[in-house]
Amino acid sequence: MLSKFSLLVRSKFVDGLPDEHSSALFRQVLDASYDSIIITLADLDRPEIVYVNPAFCRMTGYAPGEVIGKTPKMLQGPETDHHVTGRLKEKLDSGESYEAHAINYRKDGTPFHLQWLTSPVFDENGVATHYMAIQRDITDQVHMIERLRQEARIDGLTGLLNRDAGQAALTGLIDRAGDDDTPLSLVLFDIDHFKAINDTEGHVVGDYVLRHVAKIIDGRTRGDDLVIRWGGEEFVVALWDTAGDGAVTAAEFIRQAVEVAAIENLDSVTLSGGVAEWRPGQSMLELIEEADRCLYEAKSSGRNRIVS
């Protein structure tokens, strides 16, 4: 929460000091603030900037002379949320403060995230004469949160969706297929003899195989399809707008691509796959179980094959 400096703005900043001393002291406080501060006239149609502190200049790249006399709109751009700025005007018009998160733009055109609190400043008669905004650049925090959210969704080794995120995405795809009456099929792949690869070649090679296979699978699917690292050496591919026969063909295409790929230090890596076509009313877990039964049949009947 940003500190409410505007609560300190009164006709006398410090009781007992003459106004000129109070004004000088207040200016020093604003200039020394770690947070960016901008003061405008209380005119919602044209809130002309009358003061910016050094922190504002460091944050935006503008010198005071480049912004004084202009309006904060000069900091806005394509990603600025105009619902937020509209809400700000409503709050200020009713004499209230407003705190929000927004995207503004630096002098060089780069966007940045900021948290700000804007408050009206009243004179001794209770009339708003100025608006003061205390702003803080939170770009690093926003990017860190986005990165953590992304890491929570992505398998760190292969770059594919992890199981938790994949289950949620697959459930959504099934709901969409039901709403649109669109065919949807699922393939559950398993790398054949993967334990033997880990045991004989080591986990470094095993990890390389997982990344290599993931890249082949991902590179042979379409934008509307889902590719998920389901766990261990298993991968799930959800094929949008694809019925059973088409899914078998797509799975076979992937299986062959893996079989003929050159993988360092290994003669060959192969896949087994089980294919299931989604039926209306079937849950995500039921669809996975059906594909898993087909996968088991593929592995028990010799591996390196697709069964539906």
Q: Which positions are annotated as active-site residues?
A: 233
From the centroid of its chain, how far is CA 163? 18
**118 and 132 Cβ atoms separated by less than 8 Å:** yes
Q: Residue 14: which region, alpha, beta or left (left: phi > 0; alpha: psi -120 to 50)?
A: beta
CA angle, residues 185, 189, 192, in degrees to nearest 5? 160
Residue 188 DSSP SS3: strand
CA angle, residues 282, 283, 287, in degrees to nearest 5? 75
Report the side by side order of strands in the sheet with 98-105. 49-52, 36-41, 128-137, 111-122, 98-105
The closest alpha carbon to 260, from 220, 230, 301, 300, belongs to: 220
CA-atom Rg of the chain in angstroms: 30
**255 and 305 Cβ atoms separated by less than 8 Å:** yes
Which DSSP category does 200 fall into? H
